[in-house]
Structure 1
Amino acid sequence: MTTKQTAPIPDTSQAANESAEPVENTIDLNDSAYYTNRYISLLEFNLRVLAQAEDTTLPLMERLKFLLIFSSNMDEFFEVRLAGLQRDIAFNQARPESDGLHPKEVLKIISDKCHAAIERQYSLLNDELLPLLAQENIHFIARDSWTAPQVQWIKHYFRQQVAPVLTPIGLDLAHPFPRLVNKSLNFLVTLEGNDAFGRQLGLAVVPAPKSLPRIIRMPDEVCESGDNFIFLSSIIHYHAGYLFPGMKSTGCYQFRLTRNSDLFVDEEKVEDLSTALRGELYSRRYGEEVRLEVADNMPDELIDFLLNKFGLDDTQIYKVNGPVNLTRMMSVLDVAKPHHEFPSFKPKLPSDLQRSDRMFAAINSGDILLNHPYESFQPVIYFLRQASRDPDVVAIKQTLYRTGTNSEILDLLVEAARNGKEVTAIVELRARFDEESNLEIAARLQEAGVVVVYGIVGHKTHAKMMLVVRREGAKLKRYVHLGTGNYHAGNARLYSDYSLLTCNEELAEDTHKIFQELTGMGKPATLKHLYHSPFTLQQELLVQHIRQERDNALNGLPAKIIFKCNSFTDQEVIQELYRASQAGVEIKLIIRGICCLRPGIPGVSDNIEVRSVVGRFLEHTRVYYFHRNGEYSLYCASADLMERNLYRRVEISFPILDEKLRARAYKEGLEIYLKDNYQAWIMNTDGSYTRLEPKEGEERLSAQAYLVEKLS
């Protein structure tokens, strides 16, 4: 699971022995050898997820879950990342990025890696996980193992549940090859004989509606014991001849087509963003073809037929030994026993936050920092619940990026509006794959009287903010929630994120000014504590603070930087870290996914370590720490270190001002992750990753397991 070095690393060992200032002057930090490719780096992250499925120390169902998550991740990789790269190449718009690789080279590397990864995925499923599930009395019964009672039940199920919704399509001049929905399950059937009209069709396509479950649990009365499942693909394959009466089915082969699922809306040419997005959502189902998955027993001539129909080449075909959409196997996880899964835990709910009618009093007692999912997301909901019902609350403002249509947050905003509060919601319609639900959210809020705006044209609103204005005596007091994650209670149980609840007047004023930017017009606001994209976050928070650490190191003072985020691609920030490293600043980066910085290059990044933590929860916190000669500062943020976050989105970064909370955030959000020797992967100079293992005599430490034990 390594990435081959794609560019030579210059020999800078002599320069490394010189003083910091000359080193900077002799090295061209624009050299492509100092950067990794973002597409390959993202694929490397997906391979680390696959490695979790291969980890025999994990519970069985957790391994299966990681395998299915890998499948889902790869779908998005093809639908969005690879599709965009292929589109740019097709329209001659692709250019080498900072790593210097030509886009066609990148495609070749990715194709080779993806084919190898998919082979690993299905080998793991068939050779290891399914047999282990069988040992636990969880069976997937193949067609050649069906008993007579099972066959009778399956035939009945097919007639009652499957056949009525299938539409077999014979291929001839009057029945051209159908336009298939993105990622739908389909079957190519070969036929012999004449149909009722005397036609010799030879080929037919059978699309399986998405409404049908991909795995079906058989009733206990037709099975010996345990939980017994069959695949929908097996049922349709078995009954292929039934779909074409009087003809002989000589072959039935499943396949799945993946399409470009990115949406394009020219925001400068549309009058109503919501209307334009509704039109684009339909086209997502029928975007350009990017990948074809087929059963590995499909004959070559049929593969060539499909490739020709979809305009794909041999590098875009993936032969699989099993279901073409493993993600739809998630329902199997429902039959897991306790020993099949990670130990259960209950997120901690601090004693002073257990009453939803006491949130204002609790926040008045001091800032509150919550570390999700180890600590409950409920206080955030309690905060909004009290605000929606408190007669002294006069206004609520909130950003919504990914919330979900069945959300208590949404219900409470509606309730607040109906209770006479002035409620404003900044709904980001363009949150990828949540566009449809966000359109529904916006419509429901508007019907309730909420003022809904869609943010800023050309800039996604990714900031996570809630502002409550409450009348207390003769004054109006403001209460604020700021977060690194979304207002989605489900995600708060699966993602690691921070929430800050505060009534600090300066933080509240900064938050108020950003809301004014989002709903009104004017020059960028001057803020006291918050940094926000696209204005100050990159230059004033990141670049200036990095330079301060560099100056401290050059002056013989202690200097240290720790960043934790999801992805890191911004070249200017990378170069500032290279210069800081040259000056002797100790730099630790905890980057879950893409990292275009190369650590460990002599004379350039000797003092930089990059690690990725992949585990039970999705690492989602963004934390930026600067030593500042012992007077350290720590910022949480909604923003990753990517160009899109720093220049094309509205993002915020907020400081942890309370000294005790800041120390806690440092320990729980950074320090413990730097000690992880079990779920951490160290990035090598060539862009590959090596998983850490405890040294001899060293106790195994997982940051996530530690936090579960400490906080839950």
Structure 2
Amino acid sequence: MSDGTDIDLRDPALYLNRELSQLEFNFRVLAQSEDESLPLLERLRYLCITCTNLDEFFEIRVATIRHALEFGGPAMPDGMAPSTALKLIHEKAGRLIRRMYEHWNRTLRPALNEAGIRILPRDAWNAKQRRWLRKYFDDEIMPVLSPLGLDPVHPFPRILNKSLNVVVVLSGKDAFGRAGHMAIVRAPRSLPRIIQLPENVSGGPHDFVLLSQVLTAFVDSLFPGMQVKGAYQFRVTRNSELIVDEEEVENLAAALKTELAGRGFRRAVRLEIAENCPKHILKTLLANLDLPESAVYPINGPVNLNRVIQVYDLVDRPELKFPPFVPRVQFDEDESAFDRIRERDVLLHHPYDSFSDVIAVLKQAAVDPDVLAIKQTLYRTGKEPALLEALLQAARNGKDVTVLVELRARFDEEANIRVADRLQEAGVQVVYGVVGYKTHAKMLLIVRREGRMLRRYVHLGTGNYNSGTARVYTDLSLLTADPEIGHDVHLLFQQLSGLAPAFKLKRLLQAPFTLHGGILARIDREIEHARAGREARIVARMNALNEAAVMQALYRASQAGVQIDLIVRGACSLRPGVPGVSDNIRVRSVIGRFLEHSRVYFFENGGKREIYGASADWMERNLLRRVETCFPILEPKLAARVYDEFLGTYLDDNTQAWELLPDGSYRRIAPTEDAMPHSAQRSLLARLCG
């Protein structure tokens, strides 16, 4: 053990690069697709999730690094220069992409074929299939295509973000005598990316063809009289981070609508292209897209592989998917949720507990004559008609309804603008939060008259008000009538909707004011307990970890002898296992059927344990630049349950857990002779939904 006096905890060598760590997460997701013990169509889904994750990684993280390379940016704890980061990202992403397509071509597609689910390449079409596809192209595809020959009159077109395109090499002359060399064929978003062949054509019920294959097979029909020398699919990924100077706009919603209109055509960051594309064509594309060669990723297969996810929904083969389960429902249909919550706190563990219980509370509030006011934050609503209808009904019933809609929730901006407009039309008071700070907190406050007093009922969660994600994300919900928590949430809504000061809260910690300092203070308290010989331990679960001061505090705690277990799903910049610095820190990631999304913090506190749920990861943006909440689990039985279900069983997982090693790589944990195989998610499914 070291007292740390001889080690500079700001040394960049003690930290892992955030972007490279995020890429490591995608290797772990891909490993799920490679796991032959999992149902076949679920393995397909994991491969498509890897593709989608990688898209967002380039749209946001790589775009941010490229911006920092040109214009500068804040220093990260690892101290890596943007140019070095881009080089290492290209190498690592290249390895990931090659592994994805090798898995698709050599393992997954043949396994699907063996199971009677065929994604047919061009060279596998028989004469009957080819005739049907030719007619389908002529009738359904060609009428909506607008091929563009490239010449001085027709400059290089704007290529929409992540759209499917084909670059065509031509020879000969057209009807006007113009010599053709190259053309671009863009596939409109209206066209299905995967085409299911009729059973009487294919001979099987589950035969599919990718649109990209049909386009390249019949593209010659678009250039009569000319010879097609080659056709090569490609796809461009662009910067999708929206930039709105909120202090300079009078109407945030209107400004975002303007930005959204141009998002699909912002600066390119990646080019995926068929690996057999000639070099001179590639150079032309790079020149017109203003991309370096390091941004090119040759593809041996469909450039839009993530679109194969449609097969998962189109194929009704239950034996090739995870077994269905029925989430628990806490509230009976004719039961007063308010009576139950008033009696004791209610804890929900999604997806094992149904999100319908949260909706049920809101529905009851909408029609209860004793409910006076409803206040709620909305970050990612998804397609949530039940929740939205409850809020609208409450407004129609004369309740005072205030909803904070976070318009800047990435990739949900358009949906959230539509929700905000609909709420406003119904008379709901809609606010957009605080300039410069995304409101990421998940809060619902219901004010109800009971006799001569007003009582506050509160929902606080780690996940969004979205029943779709609540079926596949693990999250914690707390329903409580605790007066102090209710008062704190009331003050937070007052702060967010008005011009109130930073209130002193009794129970909750709040970013950007007290959460960061509160975490540091609790880590320091564990250090004091350890030095005094008392019980000292930290267990924390989150999606990502990169905030410098928190990581330094954890290093100091490790040096003092505090035992620290971190369950970090995605990127982690803390380097465990460094002698004299992080010997007592263990980091693991669990990847399973459900996306691990809960944020739970545990502090031993010398035997006086504290456990919290939160909306915030231990990231710089969450702790310092967002509005977040962190709430205690006060009832001892519920606190014990939270530790067991959200932390303890995950620390025992030895089938779906990965251990972070000091070099930044991950090692999959396997059962030993002394330990039976244990999966946290499977055991919770059996225990809570069996």
Shorter-chain TM range is over 0.9
Aligned ranges 1:600-619 → 2 under 5 Å: 600-619=577-596
Compute the displacement of 1:238 (Å): 1.6
1:211 equivalent among 173, 178, 190: 190
**1:391-437 Cα deviation digits (max 9, x unpaired):** 11111000000002443111111111111110000000000000010
**1:484-532 Cα deviation digits (max 9, x unpaired):** 0000000000100000011111110010000000011122111110000
SS at match of 1:150: helix
Aligned to 1:675: 652
How far apart, CA to CA, are the structure 2 residues paired with 1:518 and 1:319?
A: 48
SS at match of 2:558: helix
**Unaligned stretches of 5+ residues in structure 2:** none
Which amino acid letter does the alignment assign opposite residue 289 of structure 1?
A: A
Aligned to 2:378: 400
The answer to whether the aligner puts 1:410 opposite 2:420 as a matched pair is no
Aligned to 2:568: 591
Q: CA contact under 8 A between 1:95 and 1:102: conserved in structure 2?
A: no
How far apart, CA to CA, are the structure 1 residues paired with 2:336 and 2:465?
A: 21
2:403 equivalent among 392, 408, 425: 425
How far apart, CA to CA, are the structure 1 residues paired with 2:474 and 2:566?
A: 17
1:496 equivalent among 457, 462, 474: 474
2:640 equivalent among 659, 663, 671: 663
Q: Structure 1 residues 473, 672: closer, same or farther in 2, change over 3 A?
A: same
How far apart, CA to CA, are the structure 2 residues paired with 1:377 and 1:644?
A: 27
Aligned to 2:426: 448
Which amino acid letter does the alignment assign opposite residue 687 of structure 2?
A: K
Q: Structure 1 residues 357, 450: closer, same or farther in 2, change over 3 A?
A: farther
Which amino acid letter does the alignment assign opposite residue 636 of structure 1?
A: G
How far apart, CA to CA, are the structure 2 residues paired with 1:397 and 1:424?
A: 5
The answer to whether the aligner puts 1:42 opposite 2:22 as a matched pair is yes
**1:443-497 Cα deviation digits (max 9, x unpaired):** 0000000000000000000000000011112221111100000000000001000
State, as a whole percentage, how many aligned pairs show the same letter: 52
Q: CA contact under 8 A between 2:383 and 2:466: conserved in structure 1?
A: no
Which amino acid letter does the alignment assign opposite residue 555 of structure 1?
A: A
Aligned to 1:283: 262
Aligned ranges 1:180-579 → 2 under 5 Å: 180-334=159-313, 335-350=315-330, 353-355=331-333, 358-540=336-518, 542-579=519-556
Aligned to 1:5: none
Compute the displacement of 1:629 (Å): 1.4
Which amino acid letter does the alignment assign opposite residue 535 of structure 1?
A: F
Which amino acid letter does the alignment assign opposite residue 341 of structure 2?
A: I
SS at match of 1:348: coil
How far apart, CA to CA, are the structure 2 residues paired with 1:177 and 1:303?
A: 14
1:626 equivalent among 593, 600, 603: 603
Which amino acid letter does the alignment assign opposite residue 283 of structure 2?
A: D
Segments of 4+ in structure 1 off by > 4 A?
A: none
SS at match of 1:26: coil
**Unaligned stretches of 5+ residues in structure 1:** 1-15
The answer to whether the aligner puts 1:89 opposite 2:66 as a matched pair is no
The answer to whether the aligner puts 1:177 opposite 2:184 as a matched pair is no
SS at match of 2:156: coil
Which amino acid letter does the alignment assign opposite residue 43 of structure 1?
A: L
Which amino acid letter does the alignment assign opposite residue 646 of structure 2?
A: G
Compute the displacement of 1:258 (Å): 0.6
Q: CA contact under 8 A between 1:612 and 1:680: conserved in structure 2?
A: yes
2:40 equivalent among 39, 50, 60: 60
Q: CA contact under 8 A between 2:198 and 2:205: conserved in structure 1?
A: no
How far apart, CA to CA, are the structure 1 residues paired with 2:625 and 2:675?
A: 45
**1:198-235 Cα deviation digits (max 9, x unpaired):** 10121110000111111111000012224100111111
Compute the displacement of 1:96 (Å): 4.8
SS at match of 1:471: strand
Compute the displacement of 1:94 (Å): 4.1
Normalising by structure 1, we get a TM-score of 0.95
SS at match of 2:375: strand
Q: CA contact under 8 A between 2:373 and 2:446: conserved in structure 1?
A: yes
Aligned to 2:682: 705
Compute the displacement of 1:237 (Å): 1.2
SS at match of 1:569: coil
How far apart, CA to CA, are the structure 1 residues paired with 2:562 and 2:451?
A: 51
What's the Cα RMSD here? 1.1
Which amino acid letter does the alignment assign opposite residue 66 of structure 2?
A: Q
State the aligned residue count.
688
Aligned to 2:95: 116
Which amino acid letter does the alignment assign opposite residue 651 of structure 2?
A: L
Q: CA contact under 8 A between 1:609 and 1:683: conserved in structure 2?
A: yes
Normalising by structure 2, we get a TM-score of 0.98
Compute the displacement of 1:69 (Å): 0.2
How far apart, CA to CA, are the structure 2 residues paired with 1:683 and 1:308?
A: 40
